[in-house]
């Protein structure tokens, strides 16, 4: 939810105001646009204005109920704490934890907020609560979206001087596996999360900070490609009713989608090919015609242009709309049939 452009190259206030205006034009995308606007305001230290946007999204009178109100509350709490509203932030964080969200993102935000304010025991408890809820089976591969929880808990426990436990070992295995899959030699998590390094980065001695930054740049240069793509490689899925509406409005896209059955088969085969080629972090995003039309308008491109489709998929993935692929065999198939993946599109995999 945070803009990636450095502060030196962006007028964050102007960008926030542009996003707010765009949200007024495209209410279907208002949640994403206003969250981006709030992030720009935080970067400009206009934190009260950012809180106003969070409150606007959470208001009962909002035109559209928020898709992820828990995430918005977590972002609001982190922002409030940064400009002196600690008591309110703590109350919201307690509420987020009490709601036990199944989305990892709110957990990460509130735990890291506690960590940044030296509430390390509370941060560890929050990371642990989230992992216990979201990863109850120790023998299953952790979904990509839960990796920040594993890494965050490991980092906090290193700061606390706690000995390794099963979760810490699991975090290290995931870290090493991701590096190996990308052909990189991993920097051990214990070294990345060495408290001396973290404390050095908070030093007031410019020479110490400069030396540590140089070391980090040398060691983490191989991570740049992975960090530049924090969302999955996603394939666009149209439910049957949406595809019918899309092709009725834009019949020129029929060449891309000869039938709904062929569309579903193409999704599965494309993802299997990407997986076989070693592409990590694969996902599926589900499109809707109103959302697609709003995106086309924001790009000044007619919706009938087929080159817009992959751009739309990438944008949805960047907004956190991707569902990880493949599902586990016993989970519902991504196509929406109601059958298990193993008995539907995952049969024979």
Q: Return the domain boundaries, the chain.
A: 7-170, 233-343
* pLDDT on residue 208: 60
**Pairwise CA distance, residues 199 & 219, whole Å:** 18
Cβ neighbours for 277, distance < 8 A, ≥ 6 positions apart: none
Cβ neighbours for 290, distance < 8 A, ≥ 6 positions apart: 28
CATH code for the domain defined by 7-170: 1.25.40.10
* pLDDT on residue 97: 96
Instruction: Spell out the per-residue pLDDT of the chain, length 349, in tens.
Output: 444 444 456 788 998 999 899 988 888 888 888 998 998 999 889 999 999 999 999 998 888 888 899 999 999 999 999 999 999 999 999 999 999 999 999 999 999 999 888 899 999 999 999 999 998 776 677 888 889 999 999 999 988 888 889 899 998 888 888 777 666 666 777 777 776 655 555 556 666 666 656 655 655 554 444 434 445 688 999 999 999 999 999 999 999 999 999 999 999 999 999 888 888 888 999 998 888 887 787 777 889 999 999 888 888 887 677 888 999 888 999 998 989 999 999 887 6
Continuous segment of H or E residues that includes residue 56? helix 47-58
Task: Select from 93, 64, 66, 63 the least CA-distant residue to 78.
Answer: 93
- pTM for this model (two decimals): 0.59
Cα 234 to Cα 205, 245, 275: the distances in Å are 44, 22, 12
* pLDDT on residue 271: 92
Neighbours of 192 (CB within 10 A): 19
End-to-end CA distance of the chain: 35
């Amino acid at each position: 939810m945070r803009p990636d452009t450095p502060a030196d190259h962006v007028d964050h206030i102007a960008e926030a105001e542009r996003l707010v205006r765009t949200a007024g034009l495209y209410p279907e995308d208002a949640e994403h646009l206003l969250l981006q606007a709030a992030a720009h305001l935080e970067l400009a230290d206009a934190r009260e204005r950012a809180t106003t946007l969070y409150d606007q999204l959470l208001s009962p009178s909002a035109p559209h109920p928020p898709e992820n109100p828990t995430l918005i509350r977590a972002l609001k709490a982190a922002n409030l704490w940064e400009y002196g509203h600690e008591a309110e932030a703590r109350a919201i964080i307690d509420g987020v934890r009490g709601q036990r969200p199944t989305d990892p993102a709110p957990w990460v935000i509130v735990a890291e907020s506690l960590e940044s304010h030296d509430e390390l025991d509370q941060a560890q408890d929050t990371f642990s609560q989230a992992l216990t809820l979201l990863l109850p089976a120790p023998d299953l591969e952790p979904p990509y979206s839960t990796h920040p929880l594993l890494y965050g808990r490991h980092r906090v426990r290193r700061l606390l001087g706690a000995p390794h436990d099963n979760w810490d070992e699991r975090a290290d295995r995931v870290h090493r596996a991701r590096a190996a899959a990308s052909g990189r030699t991993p920097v051990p998590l214990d070294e990345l999360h060495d408290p001396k390094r973290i404390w050095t980065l908070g030093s007031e001695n410019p020479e110490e900070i400069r030396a540590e930054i140089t070391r980090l740049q040398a060691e983490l240069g191989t991570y740049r490609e992975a960090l530049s793509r924090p969302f999955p490689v996603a394939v666009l899925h149209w439910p049957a009713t949406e595809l019918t509406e899309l092709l009725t409005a834009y019949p020129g896209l029929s060449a891309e989608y000869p039938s709904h059955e062929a569309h579903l088969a193409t999704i599965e085969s494309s993802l299997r090919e990407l997986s076989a080629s070693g592409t990590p972090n694969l996902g599926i995003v589900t499109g809707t015609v109103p959302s697609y039309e709003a995106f086309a308008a924001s790009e000044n491109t007619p919706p009938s242009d087929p080159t817009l489709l992959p751009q739309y998929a990438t944008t949805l993935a960047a907004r956190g709309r991707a569902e990880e692929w493949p599902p586990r065999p016993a989970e519902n198939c991504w196509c929406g049939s109601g059958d298990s993946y193993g008995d539907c599109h995952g049969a024979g995999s």
